[in-house]
Structure 1
Amino acid sequence: MDAKGVARLSAPITTIDQLDDNCGSDDAMTAFDTENGFIDDVSLDQATSHNHKKVIFIRDALPGETVLYQTVRRKKNFAEANLIQVLKASSIRTQPPCPYFGVCGGCSMQHIDHQAQVAIKLKVLEDNLWHIGRVKAAQIMPPIVGLPIAAQIPQIEFAVGDRSLPHYIALVVRILAPLTMDDETRLKQFADNHPVQIWLQIKNPEDAQLFYPPAAKLCYTLPEFSVTMPFKPIDFTQVNHPINRVMIRKAITLLDIAPSHRVLDLFCGIGNFTLPLARKSHAVVGIEGSQSLVDRALDNAKFNQLDDHTTFFAKNLFETSAEDVAQWGAFDRWLIDPPREGAYAVAKALSILHQARFQGLPEKIVYISCNPATLARDCGELVHHAGYQLTAVSTINMFPHTSHVESIALLTRPT
């Protein structure tokens, strides 16, 4: 504490405990629109201060800082504010590498040291698990990290394939009128100069067609599993290929796959996990809500000569019932990789079957999440009502410098 009673951050934040232990609080703030405040906690791209027991969420502020902020929204128990000036900087604050930081709206954590970013995301995961799901993991695994994508900080949305191929980046251009000859010439010149693939979308995204160059290919590889994944730029894929490879390896390691195992892959997409799982197990069933993605997964299984070990079908997994799960049959292992909405219907179905003493529940489940809140909710259901233990969790820094939190969790049934 200094003479005014304001605590100072004495060391860089590198662990979860330090995020709490190194931060103090100070409620000596005025009621004017522009105020001084001391930051006592942080969550992704905003931090918190306190003023007369009201939480103030201040965007871009960091723990241990004294800042000048302007309140932009007031509620009964909290307020939101924008950072005006950093009066005393945190030791984890760094110079954003992108000159457009704070303008374009992307990569909102560039001003935070990379190690601190990882620690903050892990803290967010643990906080969500406890406050929402009322669960704690038996083990916090080391985060999966890397900065191959972050060094370039891409902010235009495009599809990235195998870098060993020419024109491995694809841009989808939505057009509202037919291209003129001059349009076509200029697009081809752009593709040759950079080089990229150009896809044209006239109506819906799934209708996008390759325009130039006509023989361009788009794929990514999983060398550890001898898998090549052709895809279209409108398909959902993980753009950070090195981290995706590590994530798949980690998931399969946690599942402890045996050659005799039957594995269920829910929200399977184009087969990102399904096909590597098929290399290690007896058979894999992939279920996906989109028929077009199921078709792409079937094509990829055939392309990799894994169609004899895989089965795919379409099903709205947000409406999964206990009867559906029982009809799918018994599987040794499950992998769940849902969108942000999570997989609550699936978790609830497992709870019902557990309480009915159904014998076909998987011994291990690996849950890949892109939303720590829904992961926490679903883990809470599985732990408190379906007989599972939350054995291990960690974060996957799939999108460095952003507030996106990707997570992996292992749930096991006691034997």
Structure 2
Amino acid sequence: MARFFKPQKRKVTDTKHKEIEISRLDHLGAGIGHINRKPVFVDGLLPGEKALVQFTEDKKQFARAKVIKRLADSQARIKPHCPIYDQCGGCNLQHLSHSGQVEAKQQALSELMSKFAIPDRELAFNQAAPIVGSDKHYRRCSRFSLKLGGGKLQFGFRKKQSKDIVDVEQCPVLAQSLNELLPPLRSLLTRLKGQKHLGHVELVEADNGRVVLIRHLQPFNDKDMTLLRQFAEQYDVILYLAPTSDSIDRISGQAPYYELDGQKLYFSPKDFIQVNRDVNSQMVRQALDWLDVGPTDRVLDLFCGLGNFSLPLAKRAKALVGVEGVDEMVHRASDNALINQLNNASFYQANLEEDVTSMVWAQEHFNKILLDPARAGAAGVMQHVVNLNPERVVYVSCNPATLARDSQVLLKQGYQLERLGMLDMFPHTGHLESMALFTKNSLGSKK
């Protein structure tokens, strides 16, 4: 008998308003409450608050909802300091004090690690003080969206859960030197004949000047190029143009760099760098302290980027090997090592999600390892880390869920979590960064 496909009936989300009370925050800053015993995630609500909400997503195991009306506010709620906070998609926790954010992120980190990796009693003993900097003007790099509509150029950030743009005059988390550049930059862009071909603008506060990168979809004419060069000269900026998504041309100024641990790290505005200068410096110092690197150590730095950890490590170790997936960043790290006269550092390109055991660098011995993976974590390389049998492993994470997952590989092989700390890299957002130290056979004293 022939069988005919019978489509499943599509489930319609219940949009009736429902009352909810929030019990805690998740690791992304959303409030969590329960309706009919199902966990419901609601952005913008704090523990203890009651609200009318409407489901936006209703799965078997959980639901998401948006706020219709708050019914009872938490005493921890404060007035956001940004005038466009309710529209802009950049920050999502300004309704909670900075100290409250730090506390909530510490709690979320502890809950995830205790649920998937470490018992509560061990976490309490091993918890390190959070690394915290200023919650204002901490961003040294940012991307601004551009769109021409109705004869007016919109210049700002994407709205929450939308492709629309909210105009930005000043941003309270952006470095002040970059804020000062926004009005003249906006004026420049509105005078360009080719403004309809503009894509976006990226700003970076380097230690040798302000960087402006302009993405454009068509070449600028001679008059526009003159205006761009005049702007760069008048405001002393390092100007880049990006005619394609893969190429950039420096029009003015010297190559940008930032200083760290007495060294200069050169970068391209296309490169990833840590946005928070102060917290980055503290983070690197803590990693050096926890790894306890000395002149006899051989250190492996996985997901090394342009050398943010590698160069300070190489300065103290006998030998440093950095491995990174992006070939361009490998060259940048190598060049930075040469510029800073570090002859004991070598860098390799490798896809760390694949088997690396046959690679030349993977045959070497390392007694200390640092990992700083992207949000997806380091699942592909964790078994190799264990096989190298290092004394100490420092794992720097931007996603506590994948940190908890990857930690299990180390713990099952006899490592113990000696220290765990939260890094407040992105105040007023739900991004939660952390650092964990794993040791074998309790080597070394607790820092």
- TM-score normalized with structure 1 length: 0.83
1:283 to 319, 327, 337: 319
Aligned-residue offset at 1:194: 5.1
Segments of structure 2 that go 5 or more residues without pairing to the other structure are 1-13, 139-170, 176-200
Match of 1:368 in 2: 396
Instruction: Provide the C-alpha distance between the structure 2 equivalents of 1:346 and 1:325, rounded to a whole number of angstroms.
Output: 15
Q: Write out per-residue CA displacement over residues 84-143 of structure 1, whole angstroms, 9 at most, x where no aligned residue.
A: 222221122111111121312111111111011111111222222233335654501011
Aligned to 2:302: 266
Q: Is the 8 A contact 1:382 1:388 kept in 2?
A: yes
1:209 counterpart residue number: 249
Q: Where does residue 161 of structure 1 map in the other structure?
A: 206
Structure 1 residues 319 and 60: CA distance shift in structure 2, 3 A: same
The 3-state SS of whatever aligns with 2:331 is helix
Q: Is 1:188 equivalent to 2:229 in the alignment?
A: yes
Residue 144 of structure 1, aligned match among 116, 119, 131: 131
Where does residue 12 of structure 1 map in the other structure? none
Say if 1:59 and 1:134 are closer, same or farther in 2 by CA, change over 3 A. same
State the percentage of identical aligned residues: 38
Q: CA deviation at 1:32?
A: 7.1
SS at 1:391's partner residue?
strand
Name the aligned partner's letter for residue 38 of structure 1: E
Q: 1:396 aligns with which of 386, 410, 423?
A: 423
Q: Secondary structure at the match of 2:129?
A: coil
Equivalent of 2:32 in 33, 48, 51: 48
Pair 1:92 & 2:112 matched:
no
Q: Deviations over 1:310-361 (max 9, x none)?
A: 111111111134555994321121111111111112212244x3xxxxxx51
SS of the residue corresponding to residue 369 of structure 2 reads strand
1:269-348 counterparts in 2 under 5 A?
Answer: 269-306=305-342, 308-322=343-357, 324=359, 327-348=362-383
User: What are structure 1's unaligned runs of at least 5 residues?
Assistant: 1-30, 354-359
Counterpart position of 2:57: 73
Whether the 8 Å contact between 2:76 and 2:97 is mirrored in structure 1 is yes
Residue 103 of structure 1: aligned partner:
87
Q: Is the 8 A contact 1:98 1:153 kept in 2?
A: no
Question: One-letter code of the match for 2:363?
Answer: W
Paired letter, 1:407: S
For 1:409 and 1:389, the matched residues in 2 are separated by: 10
Give secondary structure in 2 for the equivalent of 1:243.
Answer: helix
- Greater CA deviation, 50-59 or 256-265? 50-59
- CA apart distance, 1:154: 3.0
Please give the TM-score of this superposition, normalised by the length of structure 2: 0.77
Report SS of the residue matched to 2:414.
coil
* In 2: Cα distance, 1:377 partner to 1:193 partner: 51
3-state SS, counterpart of residue 407 of structure 1: strand
Shift of 1:193: 5.6
Assess, with a 3 A threshold, how the Cα gap between structure 1 residues 195 and 68 changes in structure 2: closer, same or farther: farther
Aligned residues of 1:142 and 1:394 also touching (Cα < 8 A)? yes
Using the alignment, how far apart are the partners of 2:397 and 2:45 within structure 1? 27
Asked whether 1:408 is paired with 2:392, we answer: no
Alpha-carbon distance, 1:46 to partner: 1.3
> What code does the residue aligned with 1:149 have?
H
Change (3 A) 1:194 1:45: farther
Residues 362-381 of structure 1: CA distance to partner in whole angstroms, max 9, x if unpaired? Answer: 10011111111111111111
* 2:390 match: secondary structure: coil
- Say if 2:14 is the partner of 1:35: no
Work out whether residues 107 and 153 of structure 1, in 8 Å CA contact, stay in contact via their aligned partners in 2. Answer: no
Q: Does 1:118 align with 2:102?
A: yes
AA at the equivalent of 2:205: V
**Matched position secondary structure for 1:228:** strand
CA RMSD of aligned residues (A): 2.2
> Post-superposition shift, 1:190?
4.0
The 8 Å contact of residues 321 and 345 in structure 1, kept in 2 or not, is answered as no
Residue 279 of structure 1 and its aligned partner are, at CA, apart by 1.3
